[in-house]
């Protein structure tokens, strides 16, 4: 068995991925893919990791935790999704993004020391990611997480490297949240591992948020009449419909942080694009691209 950890990050997926896989649990189960409800494992894993304090769980503890997470006697892949695997929002920003993320993931995988692990992570332009993360933390009563932080120095590649350093041998798949509408089927398949001919139901929640209702209906009608012949063909269709029927308020983000200027946002965006290229050169990392 392999345990697949979908890490978020915060302010990217909003649980859309796990909701889609949960709706398709039956068809995925036929392929040995188990998708438990997050309520069965998020608090359980957090509490267990705290108790273990980085030590490897015993075989009895490992078996007990698995029994609480899944009803099945066996599985090829067990999908666990939680945006706070790396950190809670209030502690996600310091000198780097998710500075303790690698060690936290190591602690979680030590709950299942005898089972192979696999990580999946969506990253996002810090120019839009950090303001949303700041708002999320403040909504929970925390202080400004960007206070005394130099945002232009924050690099996702640093996060990826420390995840790999703390978890050698664990494969990591990364994609850019901005690309998700174009690569959503590939993301779902990468995480779940389902067969290429598997048809998933209700896999258009993301497009329904980004596209007008009329546009989404036309998109579905078009795809029924002209089924996409490849992933690249589907991306071209999605791009065309988003350009014509996209919701402007969902396709663009207003960056509002005290002290941030337009020049800083542009600098951070350029730095992000260069950083994505750095990530592609980190051994053991796969980048899903349009």
Q: What is the pLDDT of residues 85-125, one digit of tens each?
A: 999 999 999 989 999 999 999 999 999 999 999 999 999 99
Residue 189: per-residue pLDDT: 96
* Least confident interval from 30-39, 165-174, 225-234, 278-287: 225-234
What's the total number of domains in the chain?
Answer: 1
Confidence of residue 140 (pLDDT cuts 50, 70, 90): confident
Residue 59 confidence (pLDDT): 96
CATH of the domain at 7: 3.40.50
Average pLDDT over residues 272-281: 97
Distance CA 82, CA 34 (A): 16
pLDDT at 256 over 80: no
Percent of the residues in the chain that have a pLDDT greater than 70, as a whole number:
99
- Whether pLDDT at 251 is above 70: no
Buried b (16+ CB within 10 A) or exposed e, 22-32: bbbeeebeeee
- Per-residue pLDDT averaged across 14-25, rounded? 96
| 13: containing domain | 2-197+267-288
Q: Given this model, what pLDDT does residue 162 score?
A: 97
Residue 222 domain-assigned (yes or no): no
Q: How many C-beta atoms lie closer than 10 Å to residue 170's C-beta?
A: 17
Span 152-167, average pLDDT:
97
Report the share of the chain in percent with pLDDT over 90: 82
Q: Flag whether 104 is in a domain.
A: yes
pLDDT given for residue 124 in this prediction: 97
Query: Between 96 and 202, where is the model more confident?
Result: 96
126: pLDDT strictly greater than 70:
yes
Residue at 86 is within a domain: yes
Angle at 108 between CA 107 and CA 113, to 5 degrees: 85
Q: Is the confidence at residue 191, as pLDDT, over 90?
A: yes
- 151 found inside a domain: yes
pLDDT at 202: 84
Neighbours of 161 (CB within 10 A): 17
Mean pLDDT (whole number) for 53-67: 96
pLDDT at 243 over 80: yes
Region 237-262 average pLDDT: 84
**Is 184 inside a domain boundary?**
yes
pLDDT of residue 143: 87
Instruction: List the one residue out of 70, 69, 83, 65 whose CA is nearest residue 18.
Output: 83
**Assigned domain for 152 exists:** yes
Min mean pLDDT across 139-148, 173-182, 247-256 is at: 247-256
129/143 Cα distance (integer angstroms): 17
Residue 248 pLDDT > 90, yes or no?
Answer: no
**Mean pLDDT score of the chain, rounded to an integer?**
94
pTM of the model: 0.94
Answer positive or negative: Cα dihedral of 214, 220, 222, 228. Answer: positive
């Amino acid at each position: 068995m392999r345990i697949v950890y979908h890490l978020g990050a915060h302010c990217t997926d909003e649980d859309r991925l796990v909701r889609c896989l949960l709706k398709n649990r039956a068809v995925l189960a036929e392929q040995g893919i188990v998708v438990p409800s997050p309520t069965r494992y998020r608090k359980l894993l957090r509490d267990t990791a705290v108790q273990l304090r980085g030590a490897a769980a015993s075989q009895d503890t490992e078996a007990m935790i698995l029994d609480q997470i899944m009803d099945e006697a066996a599985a090829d892949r067990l999908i666990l999704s939680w945006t706070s695997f790396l950190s809670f929002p209030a502690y996600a920003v310091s000198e780097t993004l998710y500075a303790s993320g690698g060690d936290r993931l190591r602690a979680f995988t030590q709950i299942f020391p005898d089972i192979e692990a696999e990580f999946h992570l969506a990253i996002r332009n810090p120019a839009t990611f950090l303001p949303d993360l700041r708002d999320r933390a403040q909504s929970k009563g925390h202080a400004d997480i960007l206070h005394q932080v130099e945002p232009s120095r924050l690099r996702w590649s640093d996060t990826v490297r420390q995840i790999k350093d703390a978890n050698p041998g664990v494969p990591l798949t990364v994609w850019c949240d901005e690309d998700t509408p174009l690569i959503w089927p590939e993301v779902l398949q990468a995480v779940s591992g389902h067969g290429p001919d598997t048809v998933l139901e209700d896999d258009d929640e993301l497009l329904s948020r980004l596209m007008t209702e009329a546009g989404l209906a036309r998109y579905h009608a078009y795809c029924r009449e002209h089924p996409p012949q490849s992933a690249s063909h589907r991306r071209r269709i999605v791009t065309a419909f988003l350009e014509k029927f996209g919701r402007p308020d969902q396709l663009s983000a207003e960056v509002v942080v005290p002290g941030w200027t337009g020049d800083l946002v542009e600098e951070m965006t350029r730095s992000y694009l260069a950083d994505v290229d750095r990530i592609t050169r980190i051994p053991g990392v796969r980048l899903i691209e349009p």
